């Protein structure tokens, strides 16, 4: 499915029949890196910059503040809980929690549940799916990904997940190999030639590939294969950072998740000292690493890694972490909103676009902590939170 279709879809669903009210959003409306204006209107669920005529003011709901295109979580697992797939009621609650935090567009980073039903719910965020994330037995969290018996199965599995998803496929590229005993460490799951074949298959199918990487070792193969996005990216060396910047491959640093690395190291303890040491080092360097990537010109995008062990609704916390790393607040806001939309091919606040926006009581470009408490969340033209 094209991203246009993803954006257009989901107009049906509960409450479709009663007309959405006209909204007047005023104050500062942030449109993108080069633009802002002082007002927009929402008519029939869509954005317009022309004031509607002949409306009685009683029919218009006014929202004052700083408005921006709905936030985007690039790394979110709706339908995944601590023990694997969750039921519909739980996935529904996850999606609502993300929405109430201002996330109106999610690129899922792999889910063991079929969440296609979410598209029928006008009150839930739009989801661009990556099918099931691809891993190997004993080389990822059990029950989370689709485990392939042989490495050579990856290209065919990528083709299947590309058909299942909405233009993205997620590959787990490295994980601890416990079979190495006391030498256990992060190692790649797939040989480079298999990765190259897998990425080529995805591209032929019109899909993009993102990859989970903690370690350095899987990265040369992924970059050579032409991977389209990197999750976590904690193992990027200085040279790789420059290459990623040059190629425009976005990195989703998931600092809320990387904050857990010290705990992972603790758990691994004396049994897996090499792994523990590496995780500890990456944890210590996390802010410096993200700041270096930003300064090198890497396109950073935001992902909460919610689902599994991380709670939903934490994208504002991720924004705060990226700002804490030293990325200017204005860049963090852009990354969380219009730059991510642009990357995914989903419109922001343009004339005629679906009205997905968030209104804040202050300018989040001055202080990203403002993102934690929106005054209003508008999805498909309706105030939903
Ligand atoms: Zn994840």
Q: Are strands 376-379 and 357-360 parallel, antiparallel or unpaired?
A: antiparallel
Of 309, 355, 289, which is closest to residue 144 (Cα–Cα)? 309
Q: What kind and span of H or E run contains 360?
A: strand 357-360
Q: What are phi and psi of 124, to 5 degrees?
A: -110, 155
Mean pLDDT computed over 103-127: 96
**pLDDT score at 46:** 97
77 Cα–ligand 1 center, Å:
7
17 Cα–ligand 1 center, Å:
37
Q: Locate tokens 């029950």: which residue?
A: 143
Side by side, the strands of the sheet bearing 103-108 are 71-76, 103-108, 126-128
256 Cα–ligand 1 center, Å:
11
Q: Which of 71-75, 97-101, 268-272, 318-322 has the lowest mean pLDDT?
A: 268-272
258 Cα–ligand 1 center, Å:
11
Quick: pLDDT tens for 163-180. Answer: 999 999 999 999 999 999
What DSSP state is assigned to residue 19? P
326 Cα–ligand 1 center, Å:
23
CB 25 within 8 A of CB 39: yes
Query: Is the pLDDT confidence value at 160 over 60?
Result: yes
**pLDDT score at 110:** 93
User: Whole-structure pTM over 0.75, yes or no?
Assistant: yes
Angle formed by the axes of helices 329-336 and 315-324, nearest 10°: 150
112 Cα–ligand 1 center, Å:
12
137 Cα–ligand 1 center, Å:
17
CB 69 within 8 A of CB 335: no
79 Cα–ligand 1 center, Å:
12
Query: Is the pLDDT confidence value at 342 over 70?
Result: yes
Q: How far apart are CA 157 and CA 205, in angstroms?
A: 12
Q: How far apart are CA 76 and CA 296, in angstroms?
A: 26
370 Cα–ligand 1 center, Å:
25
Residue 75 in tokens? 């790394």
Query: Partners of 229 in the beta sheet?
Result: 210
Quick: pLDDT tens for 180-202. Answer: 999 999 999 999 999 999 999 99
75 Cα–ligand 1 center, Å:
6
Instruction: List Cβ neighbours of 249 (8 Å cut-off, separation of 6 or more).
Output: 223, 227, 228, 229, 230, 299
Judge residue 89's burial from the number of C-beta atoms within 10 Å of its C-beta, 0-12 exposed, 13-18 middle, 19 or more buried.
exposed
133 Cα–ligand 1 center, Å:
9
**pLDDT score at 3:** 45
Q: How far apart are CA 315 and CA 319, in angstroms?
A: 6
Q: Are strands 35-43 and 46-48 parallel, antiparallel or unpaired?
A: antiparallel
Q: What are phi and psi of 49, to 5 degrees?
A: -100, 5
Quick: pLDDT tens for 258-306. Answer: 999 999 999 998 899 999 999 999 999 999 999 999 999 999 999 999 9
Q: Give start and end residues of each alpha helix (H) in 186-328.
A: 192-204, 219-225, 238-247, 255-258, 261-268, 273-284, 286-295, 315-324
257 Cα–ligand 1 center, Å:
8
DSSP letters spanning 55-108: --GGGEEEEEEEEEE-EEEEEE-TTEETTEE--HHHHHHHHHHHHHTTEEEEEE
Measured between alpha carbons, how far is residue 171 from residues 5, 102, 202, 255, 383 in Å?
24, 27, 11, 20, 36
82 Cα–ligand 1 center, Å:
12
Give me the chain's average pLDDT, please.
Answer: 94
76 Cα–ligand 1 center, Å:
7
Quick: pLDDT tens for 14-69. Answer: 444 456 789 999 999 999 998 999 999 999 999 999 999 877 777 899 999 999 99
DSSP letters spanning 27-56: EEEEEETTEEEEEEEEETTEEESSPPSS--
């Amino acid at each position: 499915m094209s991203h246009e279709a993803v954006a257009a879809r989901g107009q049906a669903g509960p409450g479709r029949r009663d007309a959405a009210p006209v909204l007047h959003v005023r104050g500062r409306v942030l449109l993108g890196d080069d633009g802002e204006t002082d007002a927009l209107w929402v008519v029939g669920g869509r954005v317009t910059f022309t004031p509607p005529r002949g409306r009685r003011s009683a029919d218009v709901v006014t929202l004052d503040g700083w408005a921006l295109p709905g936030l985007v979580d690039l790394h979110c697992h709706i339908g995944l809980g601590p023990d694997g797939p969750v039921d519909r009621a739980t996935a529904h609650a996850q999606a609502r929690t993300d929405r109430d935090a201002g996330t109106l567009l999610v690129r899922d980073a792999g889910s063991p549940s079929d969440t296609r039903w979410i598209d029928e719910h006008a009150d839930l965020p739009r989801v661009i799916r990556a099918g099931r994330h691809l891993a190997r037995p004993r080389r990822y969290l059990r029950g989370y990904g689709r485990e392939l018996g042989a490495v050579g199965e990856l290209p065919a599995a990528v083709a299947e997940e590309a058909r299942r998803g909405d233009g993205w496929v997620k590959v787990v590229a490295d994980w601890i190999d416990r079979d190495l005993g006391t030498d256990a460490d992060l190692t790649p799951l797939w040989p480079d030639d298999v990765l190259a074949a897998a990425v080529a298959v995805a591209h032929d199918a019109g899909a993009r590939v993102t990859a989970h990487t903690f370690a350095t070792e899987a990265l040369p193969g992924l970059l050579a294969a032409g991977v389209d996005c990197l999750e976590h990216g904690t193992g990027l060396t200085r040279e790789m950072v420059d290459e990623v910047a040059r190629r425009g491959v976005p990195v989703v640093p998931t600092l809320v998740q990387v904050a857990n690395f010290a705990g992972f190291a603790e758990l691994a303890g004396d049994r897996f000292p090499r792994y523990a040491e590496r995780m500890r080092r990456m944890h210590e360097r996390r802010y410096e690493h993200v700041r270096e990537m930003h300064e090198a010109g890497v396109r950073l995008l935001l992902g909460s890694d919610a689902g599994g062990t991380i709670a939903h609704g934490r994208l504002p916390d991720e924004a705060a972490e990226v700002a804490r790393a030293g990325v200017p607040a204005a860049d963090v806001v852009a990354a969380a909103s219009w730059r991510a939309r642009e990357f995914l091919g989903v419109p922001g606040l343009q004339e005629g676009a679906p009205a997905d926006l968030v209104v804040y009581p202050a300018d989040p470009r001055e202080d990203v902590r403002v993102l934690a408490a929106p005054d209003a969340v508008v999805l498909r033209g309706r105030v939903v939170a």
